[in-house]
Amino acid sequence: MTVRVDGVKDTINQLGKINKELQKQFKADATRIAEPALDAGRKSYARLNNEADPYALSGMSRKWTQNGRKIFPLTVAKAVKGVSMKFDTRRRAIGVILIIQKDVATAVFETAGRKTSNKLGKSLGSIDSGKTRLLQPAVDGARDKIEKEMKQLIKDVTQTVQRGM
């Protein structure tokens, strides 16, 4: 399920053209409003500490590099720290306001076996295309708390941009 408000991308870009400080304030306000979803996403990774949990595969705690790029070990602290907001106003961007996972090991854990079948994905359990294991369900659970406020913020900013033009 996605929330769609047309013109958000253009509004954010126009806001930056009118006044960079207004754009910074919008991003700060949006991040503040989304904090319950960010917290829910961060808390979802606490279960990785539980060794009885099926997500705690022993190999994920070992070092793993691929083509010289460090992939694992997966740590709870890095998983929690990696949850953040991203504003993507590029022309071809699908989402504008996104909650993302920046930690490479956690991102691999979240999406392994989603697109193609592989050993790690099978060990972690099947996952539907376009879904993640922990972050998305946690954020979706907190979505109702933030949706109304976010829409109101976008509406207010759109009116500010229209007055500025």
Q: Is the pLDDT of residue 162 over 90?
A: no
Cβ-defined contacts of 151-156 (< 8 Å, 24+): 151/3, 151/5, 153/26, 153/29, 153/30, 153/33, 154/5, 154/8, 154/11
For residue 55, what are its two tokens? 């997500």
pLDDT tens profile 99-148: 889 998 888 888 877 777 777 777 777 777 777 788 888 888 888 888 88
* Residue 2: predicted pLDDT: 46
* Residue 107: predicted pLDDT: 87
State the Cα–Cα distance between residues 12 and 92, nearest whole angstrom.
15
**Inter-residue contact 146 to 33 (CB < 8 Å):** yes
pLDDT tens profile 47-101: 776 555 555 577 777 788 888 888 888 888 898 999 999 888 888 877 778 888 9
Confidence bin at 5 (pLDDT 50/70/90): very low
A 10 A CB-CB count for 158 gives 19
**Inter-residue contact 56 to 101 (CB < 8 Å):** no
* Residue 151: predicted pLDDT: 85
pTM of the model as a whole: 0.77
For residue 20, what are its two tokens? 């960079």
